[in-house]
């Protein structure tokens, strides 16, 4: 007779992340309460008022910028200091904490995408070339689109693209399609033949609790499955085998209305 002990690691991991997030939320509200209390008893700094009247930009003005034309736009807080507005083709990057010039990138995506499907901030390559002022590399913008193939083709195809934050490279530099384009594949290859974009709901969402995924097999020296397999050493040797899941793309078929 064999007794099986429950694996509590995942439950402990979720509880740890929830507790940490609750602590950050309480800390944030305490900071806001502290600032409100100070503003109530202390006079405002005249220089700050003048700075805001001259340099601050309203959200409405940013989202209706001439660079976007009449296209839909989406507002996304990538990091604690970086705010972006995009229409699926161009992007405006704004620093939330400092009086810095906006970074405007036309044709930021290697291929146009549909912001109606949602926008998510991702850490695309953990590169120093794409970090914000605080060193946070979760500055990539993930957006997807759906395309119906012609008759006799492969059916529906869903492709996502990532716009990279030009922290240390020329925004006008054209990125190669293979570098930032991510195709979404159905588990069964013929599934796309049964679908059309009109009856698909695609939702791109950020993952609140990030998770590490290892593209390695957890095998022991005997070939048997082992939870003690050192995946981190393999990831250090080949970083492409370690990925952080920071966004999810939901594809939901809808019922046609006949």
Q: What percent of the chain has pLDDT over 90?
A: 14
User: Looking at 9-18, 94-103, 194-203, which range is the least confident one?
Assistant: 94-103
- What does the domain layout of the chain look like in residue ranges? 58-253
Q: Give the range with max mean pLDDT: 123-132, 155-164, 206-215, 239-248.
A: 155-164
Q: What is the pLDDT of residue 176?
A: 42
pLDDT band at 22 (very low <50, low <70, confident <90, very high): very high
Nearest to 166 by CA among 135, 143, 140: 140
Nearest-5° Cα angle at 83, 44 to 132: 100
Report the alpha-carbon distance of residue 20 to residue 1 in Å, rounded: 40
Region of residue 189 (left: phi > 0; alpha: psi -120 to 50; beta: else): alpha
202: pLDDT strictly greater than 90: yes
Q: What is the pLDDT of residue 131?
A: 80
Looking at per-residue pLDDT, the higher value among 23 and 222 belongs to 23
Q: What's the burial of 59, exposed, middle or buried (CB within 10 Å: 0-12/13-18/19+)?
A: exposed
Which residues make Cβ contacts (< 8 Å) with residue 227, sequence separation at least 6?
A: 218
Nearest-5° Cα angle at 165, 161 to 168: 135
pLDDT band at 38 (very low <50, low <70, confident <90, very high): confident
pLDDT tens digit sequence for 76-107? 888 888 888 999 888 988 887 666 778 888 88
The average pLDDT across 27-38 equals: 84
The average pLDDT across 140-148 equals: 92
Q: What is the pLDDT of residue 117?
A: 93
Structure tokens at 241: 């085998």
The average pLDDT across 108-132 equals: 84
The average pLDDT across 159-184 equals: 72
Q: What is the pLDDT of residue 171?
A: 59
For 81, half-sphere exposure in the C-beta direction (CA atoms, 13 angstrom radius) is 14
User: Looking at 20-34, 68-82, 126-140, which range is the least confident one?
Assistant: 126-140
The average pLDDT across 62-75 equals: 80
113: pLDDT strictly greater than 70: yes
pTM of the model: 0.65
Report the alpha-carbon distance of residue 184 to residue 222 in Å, rounded: 35
Q: Report the mean per-residue pLDDT for the chain.
A: 76
The average pLDDT across 32-38 equals: 81
């Amino acid at each position: 007779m064999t007794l099986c002990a429950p694996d509590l690691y995942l439950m402990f991991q979720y509880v740890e992340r929830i507790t940490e997030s609750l602590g950050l939320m309480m800390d944030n509200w305490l900071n806001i309460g502290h600032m409100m209390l100070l503003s109530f008893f202390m006079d405002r700094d005249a220089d700050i008022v003048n700075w805001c009247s001259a340099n601050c930009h309203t959200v409405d003005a940013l989202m209706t910028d001439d660079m976007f034309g009449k296209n839909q736009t989406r507002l996304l807080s990538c990091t604690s200091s970086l705010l972006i507005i995009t229409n699926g083709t161009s992007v405006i990057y704004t620093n939330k904490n400092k009086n810095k010039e906006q970074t405007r990138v036309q044709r930021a995506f290697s291929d146009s995408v549909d912001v109606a499907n949602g926008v998510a901030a991702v850490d695309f390559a953990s590169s120093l070339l794409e970090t914000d002022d605080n060193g946070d590399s979760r500055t990539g913008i993930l957006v997807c689109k759906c395309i119906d193939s012609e008759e006799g083709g492969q059916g529906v195809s869903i492709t996502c693209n990532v716009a990279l934050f030009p922290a240390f490279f020329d925004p006008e530099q054209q990125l190669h399609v293979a570098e930032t384009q991510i195709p979404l594949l159905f588990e069964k290859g013929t599934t796309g033949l049964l679908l059309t974009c009109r009856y698909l709901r695609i939702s791109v969402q950020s993952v609140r609790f990030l998770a590490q995924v290892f593209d390695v097999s957890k095998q022991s020296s005997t070939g048997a499955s082992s939870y003690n397999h050192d995946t981190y050493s393999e990831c250090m040797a080949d970083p492409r085998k370690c990925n952080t899941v920071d966004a999810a793309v939901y594809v939901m078929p809808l019922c046609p209305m006949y």
